[in-house]
Structures are given as structure tokens and as C-alpha cells.
Structure 1
Amino acid sequence: MEADRAAGMATTRGGAGGDELVLPMNAYGYTVPERDELGRARQVLTDTCMRRLGYDTDPAAETVRFDQSAAIDLADHGVYGNKRRYVLTDPAVAARYGYHLVSTATQVASGPRDPRRASAPTMPEREALSGVDADGRPVTHNNNGQPIPAGGCVGAADHTLTGTGRAGEADPVSKLDADSYQHSLRDPRVLAAFDAWSHCMTGRGYHLPGPLHASDAFGLDTHTVTPAEIATAQADVACKRQTRLTDIWFESEVAYQKTQIRQHANQFHQAKLDHDSVMATVARILANHH
């Protein structure tokens, strides 16, 4: 059953030129919008706890911040977080942004500033948030004598969301994410496609050792996308298409992930149950918040 679910998730939306890659592991983990909703619910719970302890919060500002963040995350990483997994695959993105993330190129990465966050939290606020003092010792009460939950307001929020105090990707999913990618970099078929890509790029006047280094010459932490970067990015994507590199790389990961999911079916089944439980809690919290 788990292998069937994984098989159904393995697609390249829009073909090899598209950038919305859906891997088998994505059937069990959080989408980018779900992670944003999880963060939003976490903030709602944290703010509620902080207000209960007598500290000021600004829910309206938080809503604006999360709305901006959600739009940025989706533009940069796609629905499943795989948009830049193979560096760059979409010719439209290459033509407009080169190798830059959309948020960096459009200068919106920081989002709107919340005046409350202009300065660092006070020590009492930090203690209330984390449940520990500057030396890492547990703090049980604030200056007003009110009890601080174990792990602080952030820890209490995570416990409400997950029941474990850990909000985020399940271990088998995050492990498969990393292992699958590293395994693909050792796959002879992928390495051969890398060589074919380099040969294709050489034919276009670019001498690069492999696709992972295609953007090394460009300052991706600045807002400027140069004509040289766009030209290189367009050649990169064209050579990926010509050599079928994206397809081969994707197929390598799909095969590896299906095998791992089949071999550890119980773990992935539990990861899916945990995911669904967390998202049901998130939906309930956000519904009550509006």
C-alpha cells in the first residue's frame, strides 16, 4: 500500500522542463504550504502563551508576516520543496531570474518588518519563549510569579501540535530526503548524465565540471541578475533537456525512494499518520484563531 502511494506521487509536473518535481517521499511529508501553516499555528499558540504571561504580541502583524512568507516560500521552493533540487530545471525561471531565488532577485526575501521585532526580545521574554535562562537552566516562573511551561511557550506550542514537543518533518522522511539525494550523486547513470551535460555546456562555450557548480561564478546573495548569469542558466536548462539529465536524476531518486519506502513501510505509514494528525490540529487551531 505504501509503495503504491509512493508510485502515485512520482511525477515531473510539466515534463522534464518543469520545476514542480514530486518524489515518492512527498506522499509522507509536509508540503511547503503545510509547513507555512504549521509555522502559523505554532506562532498562534506561542503568542497566546506569551499574552497569558503578560507579554505584548501583535497578531495582525504576524498574519501579514506569515502571508508574505508563504508567498515567498512557494515562489522559491514550489509546492513540494523540490523546485531547486536539481539546481535549475525551468527555462522560464532561467530566463527571468537566472540561478537566483525569486525572493532574492525581487528583493522581498525579508518580508515586511514587524516593529516589535526591530530589537531583540528582552531576557524575560527569551526565558518565557524558551523556558531556560542565559545559562541554559530551566526557568519555571516569570518575574510576576506566573508559571512558565516546560520548554517555554515555544516548547508548549510544539507539544500541542505534535504531542512530542517536536514540530517538523518526520525522521524517516527527512532521512530519506538526504539519503536519496546523496545516493543519486553516486548513481553511474546520473554521473554519466553529468558528463554528457558538461560536454553539452562545453559545446555552448561554458567549461563547467558539473551541474552542481554551474552557479558558482555568480553572487546569488545579491539582488542583481546579470545577463551572463541568465545566459549560463538558459544554457544549463537547455543542456539538461538535451541530455535528459533531469529525467535520469529524477528516475534515480524515484527508484531508490520506492525501495526504501517498501523496506520500511511501517515507519512511513506511521509518518503519514503523524503528518495527518498534526495537520488536523493545525487546521483546528487556525480555524479557532480567525
Structure 2
Amino acid sequence: MRRLAIPVLTLFALVGCVAQDADQEKPAGSASRAPAPHAPEPAVGTQDYTFRLPIARYSYTNAEYDAIEAAEHILAKRCMAGYSLDYEPPDRPPTVPVADRRYGVSDQSGAARYGYRKPPVPESKQGPELGRDELVVLYGTRGAEKKTGPVEYRGKRVLVEGCFGQAIKGFRKDYDYPEGGETASRISIQSFIDSQKDPAVRAGIKKWSDCMKGKGFGYSSPLDLLKIKKFHEGPVTDEEKTTARTDAACKHSTGLLETWFAVESRLQERMIAKDAVVLRKLRGLHEKKVAAARTIVTKG
């Protein structure tokens, strides 16, 4: 599973996942270690609205993306072996449950501790320290000092993008489908925008606002809280924690979260039906890519 205007901030998680194939990971030239896997993504739970929405079917699960990433590291390792160099991919950190934020803060216990900020996640375990030769071959010209000519290692030309960049580029190219990723992203964004106009959602937001006012907070919409700078910058204050906890509590007591999710799900199903051919192709490519990744991982 899965990577504007302020109200659309909550869409980043899903939009990123459906457009994953279009994004290329870029090895950092200054790195001195093996590239660590991506930070763990939210675990699926009953309140993970983003990943229960219909459009999430056209994204990857955590396990699928783990397989893809592991396969890319194995391909990089094979490439490094061609230069008689060892490369041990870093361990991926365990998945850490993170409260979903599509409709704003929803986890009361997390809100009480972190306010509107995301809970901290454990740092990825770094791979083994890399020497200069390993850096040059792994990252190509990005991992070496600037030179005027081609970079070589023991007489063998080093790939411009290095073994790691080539592993990613080479593995993903057969499964790239920008039209599909853009379609899924558009649906994710538009359904959220359209859902805010639905009478049931508007009524739910009004109930939420009344609940907040009854507890001393004058906000018309949960999305207003995304625009308050002090709740997203600087240290987390007691005011922020109290506001966030009350925000989440009112969402649950009024049923706003489930109402919003149900409305947006219906909107997405209609949108998906209109682009069924494109999305079917996207899903098929995802399945083939994951199968190929698992084959690579099995062979090692």
C-alpha cells in the first residue's frame, strides 16, 4: 500500500501509491551505505479508510511493495557481483501501524500524544558501510567524484546510473503505465473533493462542528484544522493535543468517518466503472510485476 490545496493533503498516501511506477528512486551520490528501504507504511486496520477505498485495489499492498523492493535490491546485488563486489541489501524495518489521515486525525490515543503530527517511525536499519569502490559501482557517476570521462572499475565501465539505479530502471520499465497511474490518482483526488459536496457528508460535518462547539472549539470543518500552521509546525503543544483528541472523538461520536467513507466509496465505484479498461490494465501490470518480483526473490 501505499506515495495542493490543503484539503487534499490527506490524499498523499494513496496518490503516491498508485503513481509509484512512474516515480524513479534516485540514488543519492553522497550516501556511504547501502540504500535503506522506504519507511514502513500504514498497516491495514478497520479505520484505515484510505486503503479500504475501492481505488486502493489498483495499488500495492505492503507485502507486494516489500517484494518489489527486495527484488530490486537482489538485482543490484547481481549487478555488483559482475564487478566482483559484494553487496548486502539492508534489512527492511517492520511495518508500524499508523492512524489513517484521509479525513483528518481519527485515532484518539495517537492524537492525545502527537496532536496532528504523524507518530514517529523507527529508523530504517542501515546497510553495511560501503567503500569507495562499492559506492562508484552501486551509484555510478552519482556515487563518484566528478570526472571528465566514463567511470570504470577494474577496466569495466560503470553504468551511469550505477547498479542500484539500473536495477530499479530495468525492473520497472516493462510495467510502467503512466496513464493508469494518473487515472487512479485522479479518481482518488476527485472523489475526495466531490465527497465534500454530498448532503450526507455535509450533515455529518455539521454534527461534528456542533460536537466541537459543545466542547469549546469553534471549527466548521475538520479540514479547517489542516490549515492551522501552529498545529503542524514547531513543538506539539497541550492545546494541539487537546484539540486533536477532541476532533477525533467528535468524528467517532457523530459517525462522520464511516459516513464520509461510505459516500466516497460510492463515488469511486462510479468513477472506476468509467475507466474500467485502463484500471484493469493497471491492475494486471501490478500483478505481473509482483509475480516477477517474487520469482526474483525466490531465486535470490
Q: Same fold (TM over 0.5)?
A: yes
Corresponding residue number in structure 1 for 2:111: 94
**What letter matches 1:28 in structure 2?**
Y
SS at match of 1:156: helix
* C-alpha distance in structure 2 between counterparts of 1:145 and 1:182, whole Å: 57
Corresponding residue number in structure 2 for 1:281: 292
Which of 83, 98, 106 is 1:76 aligned to? 98
Q: 1:56 to 1:208 in 2, by over 3 A?
A: farther
Matched, 1:27 2:54: no
Unaligned runs of 5+ in 2: 1-43
* C-alpha distance in structure 2 between counterparts of 1:247 and 1:275, whole Å: 29
**What letter matches 1:47 in structure 2?**
K
Conserved in 2, the CA contact under 8 Å of 1:129 and 1:153? Answer: no
**What letter matches 1:88 in structure 2?**
V
> What RMSD, in angstroms, separates the aligned Cα atoms of the two structures?
3.9
Corresponding residue number in structure 1 for 2:125: 112
Deviations 1:218-269 (A, max 9, x none): 56577x7654444322211221123332123212321221111111111111
Matches within 5 A, 1:208-227: 208-214=219-225, 216=228, 227=238
Corresponding residue number in structure 2 for 1:253: 264
Which of 40, 47, 53 is 2:70 aligned to? 40
Q: 1:264 to 1:127 in 2, by over 3 A?
A: same
Which of 125, 136, 146 is 2:156 aligned to? 146
Conserved in 1, the CA contact under 8 Å of 2:58 and 2:283? Answer: yes
Q: CA deviation at 1:162?
A: 3.5
**What letter matches 2:62 in structure 1?**
V
* C-alpha distance in structure 1 between counterparts of 2:286 and 2:167, whole Å: 16
Q: CA deviation at 1:285?
A: 1.7
* C-alpha distance in structure 1 between counterparts of 2:130 and 2:219, whole Å: 43
Corresponding residue number in structure 1 for 2:12: none
SS at match of 2:98: helix
**What letter matches 1:201 in structure 2?**
M
**What letter matches 1:36 in structure 2?**
D
Deviations 1:87-123 (A, max 9, x none): 222334334544332325xxx2x3334453799x956
Which of 158, 163, 167 is 1:157 aligned to? 167
Q: CA deviation at 1:155?
A: 4.6
TM-score normalised by the chain length of structure 1: 0.68
Matches within 5 A, 1:160-171: 160-164=170-174, 166=176, 170-171=181-182
Conserved in 1, the CA contact under 8 Å of 2:111 and 2:245? Answer: yes
* C-alpha distance in structure 2 between counterparts of 1:264 and 1:140, whole Å: 46
Corresponding residue number in structure 1 for 2:15: none
Corresponding residue number in structure 2 for 1:207: 218
Deviations 1:152-197 (A, max 9, x none): 4345323553443749984433332233223334545434433432
Q: 1:113 to 1:161 in 2, by over 3 A?
A: closer
SS at match of 1:164: helix
**What letter matches 1:71 in structure 2?**
T
Conserved in 1, the CA contact under 8 Å of 2:175 and 2:286? Answer: no
SS at match of 1:103: coil
Q: CA deviation at 1:278?
A: 0.9
More displaced stretch, 205-214 vs 182-191: 182-191
Corresponding residue number in structure 1 for 2:25: none
